[in-house]
């Protein structure tokens, strides 16, 4: 796969993930980078060899996008951390299934999908989640449930000539990220209303910006892979929720939680906030069940990715969080919208 003229398409090239993939691949002169985006003015300049402007919601654009491409890095996935099932289907799931079909029809060699470690089934015994651990629908988080469906679809279609690779990514941290655990947490901690979940004993699979880019680059350049592959992509360690939240509170100058609630109570409160949201102020609920879900125990070692892709994460979660907080502080730790669709 790592031949000198490999042509790599990056969807969502102006986003947090896509931008880091773009920067990492630009370090390899043997790769021709094709950036797909809606607004080329938002691209990191001088890194892409070709820009294909359009909207992934446009079927004609999706068809044209796959022409003369060897590898696809699909990072233009959008996301919502609560509800919005119809939007997720129309703006994420359906376009992505069509991209997969177009990739197969047009002879793309490898399709790499940005997914999440949280597609794995939750366990409560501190067990590790391997790279092909059982998946489970949540029933309450449409984006994650569609990621499970897409992984199933990729596995089912992998015999048709295009290698299908799911990267089960940890929780993003790093400068430029505006959707996820850290942006959601800081302004909520300022209210003194955030509790510890389960005493903060469970582990978080944080992964830094530059390590995300390196993981995709390693997958693009990897030698022969199986028709279907699934890799955990996380940072070099798995801190506890208490370690991370305490660190964030200290660095951001906000209060730590004052009390603890069990996870079932957290899910119940998240459901209540989602239900009451239309009648409450603010663009997003105070808590959602997806945020609680992200704080479950995710021990997802990178062992298989290291062995087969040569992926070895380099940036510590503390460094990535510091950079992330510095970036958010420049905007006054705004209350984030929990969707990008």
pLDDT given at position 277: 85
Q: What DSSP line would sit under 262-312, residue for residue?
A: -HHHHHHHHHHHHHHGGGSSSSS-S--HHHHHHTS--B---HHHHHHH---
Q: Which residues make beta-bridge pairs with 233? A: 169
Answer yes or no: is 278 within a domain. no
Tell me the HSE value of 280 on the side-chain side, using a 13 A CA sphere: 12
Answer yes or no: is 27 within a domain. yes
The answer to whether 290 and 147 have CB atoms below 8 angstroms apart is no
DSSP code of residue 240: B
Q: Which conformational region is residue 162 in: left (phi greater than 0), alpha (psi within -120 to 50 degrees), or beta?
A: beta
Q: Which residues make beta-bridge pairs with 135? A: 120
Answer yes or no: is 117 within a domain. yes
Closest CA to 8 of 99, 98, 112: 112
Q: 3-state class of 4 per DSSP?
A: coil
**What CATH number has the domain bearing residue 79?**
3.40.50.720
pLDDT given at position 133: 78
Answer yes or no: is 326 within a domain. no
Domain that holds residue 129: 6-177+206-237+297-314
Answer yes or no: is 132 within a domain. yes
Whole-angstrom distance, CA of residue 304 vs CA of residue 114: 17
Answer yes or no: is 215 within a domain. yes
Q: Can you read off the two tokens belonging to residue 29?
A: 């002169």
pLDDT given at position 178: 87
Whole-angstrom distance, CA of residue 331 vs CA of residue 329: 5
Please give the tally of structural domains in the chain.
1
Answer yes or no: is 339 within a domain. no
pLDDT (tens digit, 0 to 9) for every residue of the chain, 341 residues total?
445 589 999 999 999 999 999 999 999 988 999 999 999 999 988 899 999 999 999 999 999 999 999 999 999 988 888 888 999 999 999 999 999 999 999 999 999 999 999 999 887 666 778 777 789 999 999 999 999 999 999 999 999 999 999 999 999 999 999 888 889 899 999 999 999 999 999 999 999 999 999 999 999 999 989 999 999 999 999 999 999 999 999 999 999 999 999 999 999 999 999 999 887 767 789 999 999 999 999 999 999 999 999 999 999 999 999 999 999 999 888 887 777 76
Answer yes or no: is 137 within a domain. yes
Q: Which helix (H) or strand (E) holds 25?
A: helix 16-25
Q: Is the pTM of this model over 0.85?
A: yes
| Separation of CA 303 from chain center | 19
């Amino acid at each position: 796969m790592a031949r000198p003229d490999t042509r790599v398409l990056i969807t969502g090239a102006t986003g947090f993930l896509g931008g880091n993939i773009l920067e990492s691949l630009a370090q390899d002169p043997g790769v021709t980078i094709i950036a797909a985006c809606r607004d080329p003015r938002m691209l990191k300049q001088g890194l892409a060899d070709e820009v294909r402007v359009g909207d992934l919601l446009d079927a004609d654009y999706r068809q044209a996008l796959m022409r003369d491409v060897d590898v696809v890095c699909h990072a233009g996935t959008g996301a919502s951390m609560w509800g919005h099932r119809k939007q997720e289907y129309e703006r994420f799931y359906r376009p992505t299934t069509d991209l997969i079909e177009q990739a197969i029809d047009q002879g793309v060699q490898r399709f790499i999908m940005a997914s999440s470690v949280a597609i794995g089934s939750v366990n409560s015994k501190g067990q590790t989640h391997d790279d092909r651990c059982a998946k489970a629908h949540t029933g309450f988080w449409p984006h994650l449930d569609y990621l499970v469906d897409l992984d199933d679809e990729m596995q089912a279609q992998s015999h048709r000539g295009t290698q299908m690779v799911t990267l089960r990514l940890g929780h993003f941290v790093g400068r430029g990220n505006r959707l996820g655990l850290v942006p959601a947490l800081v302004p909520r901690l300022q209210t003194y209303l955030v509790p510890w979940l389960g005493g903060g004993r469970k582990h978080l699979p944080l992964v830094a910006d530059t390590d995300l880019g390196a993981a995709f680059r390693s997958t693009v350049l990897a030698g022969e892979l199986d028709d279907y592959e699934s890799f955990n992509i996380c940072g070099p360690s798995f801190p506890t929720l208490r370690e991370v939240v305490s660190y964030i509170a200290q660095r951001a100058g906000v209060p730590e939680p004052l009390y603890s609630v069990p996870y079932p109570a957290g899910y119940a409160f998240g459901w209540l906030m989602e239900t009451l949201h239309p009648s409450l102020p603010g663009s997003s609920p105070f808590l959602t069940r997806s945020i609680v879900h992200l704080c479950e125990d995710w021990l997802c070692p990178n062992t298989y990715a290291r062995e087969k892709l040569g992926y070895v994460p380099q940036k510590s979660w503390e460094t990535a969080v510091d950079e992330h907080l510095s970036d958010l502080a420049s905007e006054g730790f705004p209350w984030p919208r929990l969707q990008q669709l």
